[in-house]
Chains A and B, each alone.
Chain A
């Protein structure tokens, strides 16, 4: 069986002698080659060091104008490091991370595609990065024009009438969408009580509904992984404010009954919310606004390649149909003649749901997303969906048979396998995921969606080459083979990264969530 890395797991085990003693750092801190142990930033340095260069404080400074009880001495416990020490610290920490720049990251539903360096450079232009949010409109015309054009593009791409850029991330976009739905119903005299959510949904969907005071009614998807009109019809009544649908859903399956489902919901006065987490599959091919959706959130860090940054920042613009436009949150960017302006006050928009976050949104993310849309143009945007779907189906075809496919329905940009064929050997999805790390790959999303036991959810994205996919497929096959011949080796994974499996139970039982002076974090 091909092993793309040419590395044999068993050699490593032997060389190490299996004990922690072999891992003792060398005098330079290196554990193995150029891999380093690195203490907390608070655990090194020397008194009196400082890593910044500042002008001297005014000679007569004494803070005497402040009440003595409000003045604190220098904060104990803060590090004392030179610039180089700080640089080395974070450089070494970075080397313990896997990023898209390091290798393949097929994390299903997270759309881990390449983050263009151009976008980073552009977001750092002083006119963008050093712009104060309260700069008068005449000193911010370029930023406002960019926001205006991005808003128009996002509305066009998903087929809606208008888009708010304000939400800080996808989950806040969901919250916004549900607030808009609530405002829409309230304006008609009854906010309604329930939201329908299929069992394949992201956890943020029910959480966002609850935050809006809606009870959640879970709908079972059918044996083909799709939501069926009769299920919706049975649950639909005039207490239902909306249905939340991810399309394609988290199995990567297109909800092909969407138009009929939307009809059923609309007939009883409900609205259809689209979770746009999987928009990558539809770009330029089909538009949620043309399928009956009334409102949808984007995740710019998924679809438009703004960096995930180890968990944010995100940006979750929400696109809506005309009926919801009066309720959009503030601000909005408007064009008046050749001039752009922010609408920030409720007196201009009496039906607005209000403000969701401070200022105008995660503008830095807008610059990056707009840069990508500009570079792609209409053809590039469409090619994104086509190649994402091509890549996912290529992986799917080659792993079918080796891994069990719980839903053989056609899938688009991602595919969900499970561990049914490995179970007999005592190898679980978790083990497969950890073994992939030893092969140099980030594992897929695991144990999600919840409708699949032991789910392995693979989303390659369009920026990965055929060679990378081939290497990944080979690793997955090698692990399946190893599960038969040496299941213990799979269960012992990962052996290559700086840390073996971590004890999550211990972390949760006795939480240690910070360092403090004199404390030994262990």
Chain B
């Protein structure tokens, strides 16, 4: 299971990556593996606002539905639209091609409240 060093993580298994002043968000390798084959993803629209800890979409396998929780608050400035036609990308490449949305954070310090790779690794091991 892959946990890139340079990302931040939530307890709900989302990752967050700094990209300039914005933050890119997706779900972790662990999350996609638990979920199984992703068949559907529902994401917000560009311009929507999201709130830290609140649901911004859902991701589904054939037998399970999982809500997506925003790691930080802010405004959605980019959405990975190709995912809706190719949700399997989330299984195949969760950290790169499988990214979901880009957020312009309302408080850039939010990111620092999230787990780093080591903390997330420990958290996942505890879950298993």
Query: Chain A: residues with CB nearer than 8 A to chain B?
Result: 504-505, 507-509
Contact = CB atoms under 8 A, between A and B. Distances in A.
A508 B62 CA distance: 7
Interface of B: 37, 39-40, 60-62, 87-88
Nearest to A508: B39
Judged by DSSP, the binding face of B is: loop
A509 B40 CA distance: 6
Nearest to B39: A508
Judged by DSSP, the binding face of A is: helix
Contacts of B88: 509
A507 B39 CA distance: 9
Contacts of A509: 37, 39-40, 87-88
Contacts of A504: 62
Contacts of B39: 505, 508-509
B118 to A, nearest CB: 30
A508 B36 CA distance: 13
A507 B63 CA distance: 12
Contacts of A505: 37, 39, 61-62
Nearest to A509: B39
Contacts of B60: 508
13 contacts: A504-B62, A505-B37, A505-B39, A505-B61, A505-B62, A507-B62, A508-B39, A508-B40, A508-B60, A509-B37, A509-B39, A509-B40, A509-B88
A346 B98 CA distance: 56
Nearest to A447: B63
Contacts of A508: 39-40, 60, 62
A508 B38 CA distance: 9
A343 B108 CA distance: 66
Nearest to A507: B62
Q: Which 7 A-B pairs have the closest CB atoms?
A: A508-B39, A505-B37, A504-B62, A509-B39, A508-B62, A505-B62, A505-B39
Given A505-B61, A508-B39, A508-B40, 12 more contacts: A504-B62, A505-B37, A505-B39, A505-B62, A507-B62, A508-B60, A508-B62, A509-B37, A509-B39, A509-B40, A509-B87, A509-B88
A507 B40 CA distance: 11
A509 B92 CA distance: 15
B65 to A, nearest CB: 12
A508 B87 CA distance: 11
Contacts of A507: 62
A455 to B, nearest CB: 14
A504 B40 CA distance: 13
A105 B120 CA distance: 46
A508 B60 CA distance: 10
A509 B37 CA distance: 9
Contacts of B37: 505, 509
B34 to A, nearest CB: 14
Contacts of B40: 508-509
Nearest to B60: A508
Contacts of B62: 504-505, 507-508
Nearest to A505: B37
A505 B91 CA distance: 12
